[in-house]
Structure 1
């Protein structure tokens, strides 16, 4: 847990948060010092906010509305579950835009991971896998 926290914080500290207000707000929150699991949970959330902000920008840059993105990705039923009134069916024509948004999200996220060496990135990915496996068991 200690190594995950160290690498995650290194990633978090490198981000220019000028256009990422939710990320910046969460990053500014104090991290639990006597609770490594709580600290890891918070860091996962902060990194998730970074990805979320990148994804929202990518969705809009790809010409999708939030409703369209929700319908294409999750389906009409889930969109309705999240409160979209009459979301309508996902148009096949929107799928390439969704795929573009996914690619752009990855491109916007990539610079974050340059803060780690190739070895550290591999280690971080392995630690994320371990944490994910622990959560599901």
Structure 2
């Protein structure tokens, strides 16, 4: 990892540390896991994963806020076949009235996460995006 990416990794850790874990137990559990001290790339990947878990936990909360079950949200998004593929037993089509609820639920995670990304400077956000891109496009050893 280069010096710049080490700085970006510290930004990732600050974002993870600053996130509110209230009502987000899956995120809180992942955040509590120690990062590998001897693997900087692995530690960076873990921090990015924990940030993803924060977004996922916010999404699950939003789904519930808008009166959807996880299964109904998946059926609206991916369809009955994909819901079954992901392990839901005998998923059924959902009422058309639930579609606008899911659309609203898709907006809320971004609103919940926005405060995390206001503290870093524009340069830091750009460099962080570069780090994530580099981590996710690098060939695996």
Structure 1 length-normalised TM: 0.87
> Which residue number in structure 1 is paired with residue 117 of structure 2?
113
Cα displacement string for residues 43-97 of structure 1 (whole angstroms, at most 9, x for unaligned residues): 1221121111100111111221111101111221110012212212244332211
CA RMSD of aligned residues (A): 1.9
The residue correspondences of 1:11-50 to structure 2 (distance < 5 A) are: 11-50=15-54
Unaligned runs of 5+ in 2: none
Unaligned runs of 5+ in 1: none
Q: Give, in whole Å, the separation in 1 of the partners of 2:46 and 2:57.
A: 17
> Which residue number in structure 2 is paired with residue 102 of structure 1?
106
- Runs (4 or more) in structure 1 with deviation over 6 Å come to none
Moved more, 6-15 or 24-33: 24-33
How far has the Cα of 1:135 moved from its partner?
A: 5.5
Does the Cα contact within 8 Å between 1:76 and 1:90 map onto a contact in 2?
A: no
When residues 79 and 124 of structure 1 are mapped into structure 2, their CA distance, relative to the original with a 3 A threshold, is same
